[in-house]
Amino acid sequence: MNQQVPGKSIELGVCYYPEQWDESIWADDYKRMVEMGFTYVRIGEFAWSVFEPVQGTFSFDLFDRAISLAEESGLKVIMSTPTATPPAWLTHNHPEVLNVSKDGTTHHHGLRGHYNYNSSTYREFTKIIVEKLTKHYANHSAICGWQIGNEFNCESNVYYSDADHDAFREWAKEKYGTLDQLNEAWGTVFWNQTYSDWEQVFLPRVTPADSDNPHHALDEKRFVSDSTIRYAKLQADIIREHAPNHWVTTNGKFGHLNHHQLTNELLDFYAYDSYPNFGFVFPEGGDDPLFDRKWSWNLSTVRDISSQFAIFEQQSGPGGWVNRLEQPTPKPGQIKLWTYQSIAHGADMVLYFRWRTAIKGTEMYWHGLNNYDNKPNRRVKEAAKIGEELKRVGETLFGTDYLAEAAILHDYDNEWDGELDTWHGPFTGKSIRSWFKAFQYQHIPVDCFTIDDDTTLDQLITYKVLVYPHAAIMTPKRAKLLEQYSEQGGTLILGSRSGYKNEYGHAYMKSFPGLLSDLAGVEVSDFTRINQYDDNPLLEWGEHTLKAETFNEVLTILREKTTVLATYQNSYYANEPALVKTSFGKGTCYYFGGVFNDQLASLLLMDTGLQTRSELTLPKTIELAIRASKDKEYFFLLNYSGEEQTITLNEPMNELLSEVTLQSTGTIEPYGVMILTKV
């Protein structure tokens, strides 16, 4: 499917819950939305018991009135299926629909996401409510599209009900065909785990040391993804059958779900929920944290799924449940900063969460634009200003593409395998953070790119530099593709623990880095983890001395075209190679026998010769993102600092939001935004 956000301009909207508010205030709410420049209102995702208060009795009156009034006010409506929150009558009468934890504890009614995808009962009730809704609203002129459920795999991304165990058994039968093949894939000869009957096969269950068979656990994630997509397809198919003129999407990005497959097979475009304030609640490890700027990496992973996408929940206030996720109030300017952060990275539609803060329930502190009192406030004014700006520039920016000459590679196999395997999984997160900082602080836009066995050379060769930090699982097809990329002139950067596992997670009987050894020009002769009792080894790279943290591989040079860039110091492997550079065809492969830190990533990026754009000289606190049409580039400058910043222009440029021309310098206010074009 060709994913494209509908419309001709970047437009705003808001999430609204008419069932939570007295009908007497709906008209005023809608009126103010329109005055703020909003086009869309998203409704319905948690209203199953409103649509079906008791089993088999359906009522659409409340939403009929709410939708008609929205249309009269000039708003378009995004309707949602309410399947993320099954009603009490359903979970009470049919407890088999409830999710179960690994230890056998049932997730009862009282929050959300407490169902399981594989219950035939839940699937049947889902079919009924989605059919009733889509048939009822198929021809309503106010409704433009549908959101399926809400945030798949958010509250839980593992499922252990009886229905899930049964479905997993059938999934495994289809995947492997025979028990002999399953036993081989899961390595069950180890610790006498061999299965002799299909009835013995379950999802991973509680074990004495709480350490699952890693190959079994990897297939668990694949199964959960397939189950989620199967459940989403049930709904998408019904909507397309009964409401063929409406687009279909879903929102959020959570674990154990192949979002590329979901989007390509089912959705008209992808939608994300963007909460940059989480960066202050859960700052990434290490020095100099990115905080809300880290969300640009999250948005890059979304852009990888769909080059243009929608934001269905853009943070507009302090967030938090009554018992967790405590977040500060956005400072003046941050709502605008975060909105344009989303747009800079490819968002062509932005909906704020939410219109008014809930006065009851678990999310009564997850504030929206309006506070409980419904009085004007600075957040409302800030969003209205953005609405005014997008009325002027939204059409210009709509449909433009993000420009990047580098990408950080990702794949689902290693992500899922690395959740259990602490010998490579945690390394990837640490290295990606360091590399993203390097690109950010050197003002070089970077993509996330998900690689699999269907990836083509034409897709990769568009990038001058690819970073693939710790690809433990490596298939022969992917290894050959990376070789072809370097042969054609690309620069590839690899880290330790690469290339040594097959698609099942088994280790190859090869020296590390396994299938990538020829490309990297090295093999590993020795290796060690660095624990808290070791003196941290150092790297010596010319005049630079760096820490060799977390994991160290001692490299043996295999090829004449391999140059040693850095060696270890102050350890038993002192003076041995740690970082090398190999000519491969027309290109280059760097291999580092360790885990990347901020300093090393920055130095390596400079060594590749990749540079920022010459038009601008920017301070560290400014992010540069570039979107482009066929004949014009738009330079987004995002200031994540609470202080005014000065930029230098090496040629005159027009600023779209203020409609002024800057000659040689300019200033960006605290948390400010500029969008520049060449004169």
What gap in Å lies between CA 154 and CA 99, rounded to an integer?
Answer: 13
Taking alpha carbons only, the member of 294, 318, 356, 327 closest to residue 26 is: 356
Residue 343 near residue 4, CB atoms below 8 Å: no
Question: How far is C-alpha 534 from the geometric centre of its chain's CA atoms?
Answer: 36
Pairwise CA distance, residues 592 & 555, whole Å: 9
543 is catalytic: no
The CA distances from residue 589 to 374, 400, 453, 581, in Å, are 58, 32, 20, 6
Burial of 288 (0-12, 13-18, 19+ CB in 10 A): exposed
Tokens read off for 620: 């560290």
How far is residue 382's CA from residue 528's CA, in Å, rounded to a whole number? Answer: 53
Tokens representing residue 471 in the block = 């690809």
Cβ contacts of 675 within 8 Å, gap of 6 or more: 340, 393, 397, 634, 635, 636, 637, 655, 656, 657
Can you read off the two tokens belonging to residue 667?
Answer: 């200033």
Q: Which of 52, 151, 220, 419 is catalytic?
A: 151
Quickly count: other Cβ atoms within 10 Å of residue 532's Cβ. Answer: 5
Of the residues 52, 313, 389, 549, only one is catalytic, namely 313
Cα dist. 297→462, 548, 604 in Å? 20, 25, 19
**599 contact partners, CB below 8 Å, separation of at least 6:** 544, 546, 547
Catalytic-residue membership of 151: yes
183: number of Cβ within 10 Å? 16
Catalytic residues: 151, 313
